[in-house]
Structures are given as structure tokens and as C-alpha cells.
Amino acid sequence: MTDQFWANQSVIVTGGAGFLGSYVVEALRARGAGKVFVVRSREYDLRHEAATKQLLKDVPATMIIHMAAVVGGIGANRAHPGKFFYENIMMGTMLMEQARLAGIHKFVAVGTICEYPKITPIPFREENLWDGYPEETNAPYGLAKKMLLVQGNAYRQEYGFNSIHLLPVNLYGPRDNFHPSSSHVIPALIKKCFDAIQNGDLEIEIWGDGSPTREFVYVKDAAEGIVLAAERYNGADPVNIGSGNEISIRDLALLIAELTGFTGKFRFDPSQPNGQPRRQLDVSRAREQFGFSASTSFRDGLRESVEWYRAQIKEGVSIR
């Protein structure tokens, strides 16, 4: 059934050349998807209506998996709140409208954990999504992505449009973004540890006080969850994609130090923002609705991420 389902699909994947997207594309091709088209921004700038229309004219499709996004860590979100809001909301809103007009059978909107309120009971349950305002440093980004949920449900109600909304937690794994100005916490810490070892530094600075907790899901697991939802889930309710486990930033730093071989100290800077106090998801809906459970242990996935980065350094590869 799975093979037959995907053999009949022509799938447009926005963000398919990115970190998560590349794994989703691999998972689709492994399942024998009839056609997978990876959208490149240099060919189709989805911030513009004309380009979005042209994409759907050029590529007849049955499904769209929308992952294209302007993303970054706390620093990038603080520096570019307007850019993050405008570009994310324009890409998603126009793409879904044009998908509806083009008769796309299914629209898979990949949102973000940043859609949740700053203070959300642990574990985060999908029904808590509207209980407050998101954490301030990433609210413009989170709300822009959250509007895809509103739009999708409105289109479902008025037009019978099949749009689903997924909420992946923080991702990590090989091929992540390690650029210091836009990376998230795991690749940022891995790079800082390797840089400190190379430079002989005995101390690494980390923003915040180290107390916030985060949940992480290995990128291959997240891709599996997205593809399973694309195949099996057709509901209006949003669905968390995560591992169900949390770790403090302080403990995360110590674990990365162990795996990288950094033996110095961490200096936390409480004058810098912590971000959301805690993040841990209730992942039962994904398991019940389409059979997804993350299978990679955090330590194993983190070790693979560290070893991948170590290999890039040895090979002299320039990493963004």
C-alpha cells in the first residue's frame, strides 16, 4: 500500500535542498515516489506571487510538502524579526492559495515548535497552542508559521482543501547549519567546542544561564515523521513531531564537550536571553494517528552529528 501510494504521487518539496528537506527528499525517493521536485529559490522565489504561480504551472503535482523557511537561532531572530515574519508568511500564504487554485490534493505544512506560547504546560499538547503569546525573541517567526494552520483550517472549511500542519521540535544531525550567525544551539555548541580545541581556548561563552530545557529530534526521525504524516494523516488538528525527551542547555553543553573532547569550562552569560523556559512535547498524537515514534537515542544522534562535523574539518570542507 505504501509503495503504491507514493508511486502515484508527484510531490513538490519546498526547502528540499535544506537541512530537514534533504532528508525528506531522500525518504520520499526511498519509498518510490513517482516524482519529487525540489524547489530552488533561484528558480522560484516563493516570496513573489508570479514565481509561485509559475512553479505550479511548470510542475504538475498532487502534493506539496512546504518546509521552505527563513530560520535561525535567538540571535538571528532578534536581529531580523521583520524579515523572519514577512518572508515566512508570504511564502506560506501564497503557496497554499496557489496550491488550492491548482487543485493540489494535499498540502503538508511543516510549522515550528516556536508556535507554542512562551509558558506552556509540560509536556506541550497540541490543544495548548492558542493559550498564550509565543516567546518574544522568536514570536514573529513562530506566528508567521502558525498562520499556515489558520489558513489551512479555513481552506478546509470553505473549500474542502486537505492541508495538515506538523510541529517539529528542535532538529539536529549531520548536514546541519553550523554558521555562527544563524545556527541553532547544537551545531553552535559543536562548532564552539571544536574551535576552542583548535585554538587552545579553556573557556566557552554560552548565552543565558543554562537552565532552559529543550527537546531535540534527530533529523532522520523528523523526516520519517513528516513522510508518514504525508501518507497517512488527513486531519485538521496540528501534530507534534518530536522525541518526548528534554535536556537542559547546561547538560547539553557538558554532553557535547564530552563527545567532542573539549575539557575546558563553560561561562554562561545571564545578561543574554534564555529563550523559552522549557520545551518538551507530548508526542502521543503522532504515534496514534500515523504510527510515528522517534527511534534514535539522543546520545547516538549527537555522536553522529559530532563525527560528521569532525570529518568535514579533516577534509577541509567549508561549512556554512
Q: Active-site residue numbers?
A: 141
Query: What whole-number distance in Å separates Cα of residue 155 and Cα of residue 35?
Result: 26
Residue with cell 481552506: 155
Cell of 60: 504538475
CB-based burial label for 35 (10 Å; 0-12, 13-18, 19+): middle
CB-based burial label for 158 (10 Å; 0-12, 13-18, 19+): exposed
Query: What whole-number distance in Å separates Cα of residue 48 and Cα of residue 232?
Result: 31
How many whole angstroms from its chain centre is CA 124?
Answer: 16
Quickly list DSSP for the chain.
-HHHHHHT-EEEEETTTSHHHHHHHHHHHHTT-SEEEEE-TTT--TTSHHHHHHHHHHS--SEEEE-------HHHHHH-HHHHHHHHHHHHHHHHHHHHHHT-SEEEEE--GGGSBSS-PSSB-GGGTTSSPBPGGGHHHHHHHHHHHHHHHHHHHHH---EEEEEE-EEE-TT----TTT--HHHHHHHHHHHHHHHT-SEEEEEB-S--EEEEEEHHHHHHHHHHHHHH---SS-EEES-S-EEEHHHHHHHHHHHHT--SEEEEETTS---SS---B--HHHHHHH-----S-HHHHHHHHHHHHHHHHHTT----
